[in-house]
Amino acid sequence: MDNRRPLIAGNWKMFKTCSEAVETAEHLVKLVSACADVDIMIAPPFTALAQVSEVVKGTCISLGAQNLFWETEGAYTGEISPAMLVSSGCRYVIIGHSERRQYFGETDESVNRKIRSAVSSGLVPVVCVGESEKQRELKETFSVLDKQVKKGLDNFSPGDLNTLVMAYEPIWAIGTGKTASAEQAQEVHEYLRAMIEKKFGNSLAKSMRILYGGSVKPDNIAELMSMADVDGALVGGASLDPLTFSKIVQF
């Protein structure tokens, strides 16, 4: 087994006001204070980042954002720059989540630009890929991932990507309670790692963390984590409750 430190990440999506986010984070800090073997990240909505950052400062929990825009500044109403995230205490940023691809026009090309801007600002990109139910039925899973990875990571050197975290989130498993089986996740993670090896070499492939996301719960995390190429989880619904999320962290 290679030296990949597990990462358990919580994507809070469009949930929690500032006070709710602070309360959740405070509770979580107490519950996971003893977790030395795993990296923990929570991604509250933009509006709560600065306040939650104060709560998690100096703890084992890192802060992430759910999106960013690639320009440094300018007349881009409603957008958030990498420097703004850094100044709000973020270390990670989720890029290319399927909900952003589905509802907000995110493409592999925009994902690519966002990864570049994240990396050059020192943020750790958590890049989401995954197929729909229909694509899986049509046996297009691997070709869909091929395209997402190829275009999303086009024109990077291995050195650009040495912090990058990949997240395999099959769309049919997100928020549906239908988790991919540990074997299904392993099959795809192995495929993704082989793609990274082919494109960027063995060293990056061995060190890159690949998370699984889609209906991760306290009762399925251990089996998922027992797979050789599953290095952590990107958790949606089950990350909103601190006790439930802390059980996933302590898989």
**Region 16-75 residues binding ligand 13P, contact defined as CB under 6 A:** none
The tokens describing 108, both together, are 């592999």
Q: Which stretch binds ligand 13P (CB under 6 A): 18-26, 75-83, 144-152, 210-218?
A: 210-218
Q: Which of 188, 250, 251, 246 is closest to 225 using CA atoms?
A: 251
Q: Which stretch binds ligand 13P (CB under 6 A): 46-54, 108-116, 152-160, 214-222?
A: 214-222
Alpha-carbon span 201 to 237, nearest angstrom: 35
Q: Which stretch binds ligand 13P (CB under 6 A): 44-52, 116-124, 156-164, 234-242?
A: 234-242
For the CB of residue 178, give the shortest distance to ligand 13P in the complex, in Å. 9
Asked if 96 interacts with ligand 13P (CB under 6 A), we say: no
> Who contacts 110 (Cβ-Cβ below 8 Å, separation ≥6)?
70, 96
For the CB of residue 213, give the shortest distance to ligand 13P in the complex, in Å. 4
Among 29, 61, 153, 234, binds ligand 13P (CB under 6 A): 234
Asked if 213 interacts with ligand 13P (CB under 6 A), we say: yes
Please answer whether residues 79 and 73 qualify as being in contact, where contact means their C-beta atoms are separated by less than 8 angstroms.
Answer: no
Asked if 153 interacts with ligand 13P (CB under 6 A), we say: no
What b-and-e string marks burial along 1-31, b requiring 16 or more CB atoms within 10 Å of the CB? eeebebbbbbbbbebbeeeebbebbebbbee
For the CB of residue 157, give the shortest distance to ligand 13P in the complex, in Å. 27
The residues carrying an active-site annotation are 97, 169
Alpha-carbon span 219 to 251, nearest angstrom: 9
For the CB of residue 177, give the shortest distance to ligand 13P in the complex, in Å. 8
What b-and-e string marks burial along 158-183, b requiring 16 or more CB atoms within 10 Å of the CB? bebbebbbbbbbbbbbbeeeebbebe
Catalog residues that contact ligand 13P under the rule CB under 6 A: 11, 97, 169, 174-175, 213-216, 234-238
